[in-house]
A and B are shown apart, each in its own frame.
Chain A
Amino acid sequence: MREPAVSVPRRVLIANRGEIALRITRACRLLGLHSIGIHSEADASLAHLRLVDETLCIGPAAASGSYLDAARVLRAAELTNADIIHPGYGFLSENADFAEAVEQSGRTLAGPTAAIMRLMGDKISAKQQMRRSGVPCLPGTEDALPTDLSEAQTICDAIGYPLIVKAAGGGGGRGMRVVMTAADLRDAIETAREEAGRAFGNPSVYAERFLQHPRHIEIQVLADRQGNAVWLGARDCSIQRRHQKLVEEAPATGINPQAIAELGERCANACTLMGYTGAGTFEFLYEDGAFSFIEMNTRLQVEHPVTEMTTGIDIVREQLLIAMGQPLSFTQADIRTQGHAIECRINAEDPETFRPAPGKVLNWRAPGGPGVRIDTHLYDGYVVPPNYDSLIAKLIVHGTDRTDALNRMHAALSEMQITGIATTTPLHLRLMNEPGVREGSVSVHYLEALMRKSGS
């Protein structure tokens, strides 16, 4: 007897814009999927809209009325009969309420379930889950700090100083206070609570040991609906400013590969234990040979290309296949990393003040050559709108080793031409020649210290 035909989801709504929307469109075309590009009124000329099978303007330029408006995105999915919604990164990609609404509408989000997003979105429950899975965490509170400040003081004194008070529901540096001595604790807790309540609607804060010169190391994972999970190597994203990454690389240099492999295994196991599906990233601080879990990003990362370049695995394609219900086509034993990859985020910003610099791109000339990849939605005459994130291109290079990759990146940056607007390219060019960067293993404070030293 023949089994009844099961319709395979094939219509993908791309709920994002810019370079990542183009990246997802390419993966859809590779898989022969029907792609639907939604956009705001300000974004009608985005590059991916000429490649998708359908387009739909969902609202005004303001993200709150378009890309961040869950009801509008869902209505667009209904109107276009989308089966899968790929949220990209940012916007609604880690919004558990949106994920739940997608599930209730009978559609599939290219990502984990709403329940997992909630579990990982709350930093306290995420840390508890990590401890259960054997993923290393910083010494700190098991639960939210009590509202009684004397009780909180006792708990924090036991952790030791310096420590950091963080918002349970937050990220991006908001609701976060470093406490150097016991005398500063009460003010820090009260300020962090107030800020967390305003920013995230959740005033809960927790405390953990503050590392003074950590590196930011992260593990990329992929997990299917059949319970298989793999890790795809580590990335070093320590070159950042105000918690915004600027340069990322893979693999993480100067760390024992065996230690990374053990960490990767623990992350993959954590995925299996919690029933994680899709692509995800475990973020860690690394200091004095020890990894400490910070948070899990339950979505595609901006910096995923460096992992793609070193493993040869198309992460966005895999995300879509997982959302279509297919098992991973490879096992951990099949994954090999090769060479070294670096990504520079090219932002439409003043390279010294980091002020956004929207405007019209007069000339765009992409660099090329062996090992050079550029993920961008730029074209001659494109107008960078002031309404959104300033990321306009990701320049990625792959070399035989780190020195080769740094040299290739410098050459590619020199070749790349963007006129009409200010970009961070001059800063990246400078960084590729900085002794600290050439040597590797810089801490998360490196870039800000460098900028201070040069008076920016």
Chain B
Amino acid sequence: MTFLEDLLNDLPELVGRMRHHDVRHVSLKNGTGALALTLSENAGQTPPAHPVAPPAKAENTPVPSPEMGVFRSNGLGENHPVRSGEIVGFVEAGPLRLPVTATADGTLGPALIGDGCVVGYHDVLFRIHPDG
């Protein structure tokens, strides 16, 4: 059996592997022959049941106050990179000093409330911009 005949026999498997790995072009060559294979963009794919929404635009994540109280900054400025769970400020609620923690990884936006100002329960104190 020639190289080309072998390839044609294996073509279904080859195409399957190409699709699986998202490969659209293959070129093969040896002394007896050559093969160039190009898959169409949507060939063989099942159309989606519902129109697919365009990729969601990354949104800012709000950082709420844990309690009603007085906001205390911990000095983190705008554009400071933060990790989810990192303390980005405090709220004094009576005798308690409660941490305000980042709700996502990203870059901290400006404080939406001044240091020492009264904040309500779950008022948004910052927004975190996603990285990238």
Contact = CB atoms under 8 A, between A and B. Distances in A.
A58 B121 contact: yes
The main secondary structure of chain A at its interface with chain B is: mixed
Given A56-B68, A57-B68, A58-B68, A75 B122 contact: no
A438 interface: no
A109 interface: no
B118 A75 contact: no
A76 B122 contact: no
B70 A79 contact: yes
Interface in B55-89: 68-70
Given A75-B68, A75-B93, A79-B70, A58 B120 contact: yes
Contacts of B121: 41, 57-60
A79 B122 contact: no
Contacts of A60: 121
B39 to A, nearest CB: 51
Interface string A59-88: 110000000000010011001100000000
A79 B118 CA distance: 7
B95 to A, nearest CB: 11
- Which residue, of B68, B94, B118, B122, has the highest number of chain A Cβ atoms within 10 A? B68
B94 A75 contact: yes
Interface string A158-180: 00000000000000000000000
Interface of A: 41, 55-60, 72, 75-76, 79-80
25 contacts: A41-B121, A55-B120, A56-B68, A56-B118, A56-B120, A57-B68, A57-B120, A57-B121, A57-B122, A58-B68, A58-B120, A58-B121, A59-B68, A59-B121, A60-B121, A72-B68, A75-B68, A75-B69, A75-B93, A75-B94, A76-B68, A79-B68, A79-B69, A79-B118, A80-B118
Interface of B: 68-70, 93-94, 118, 120-123
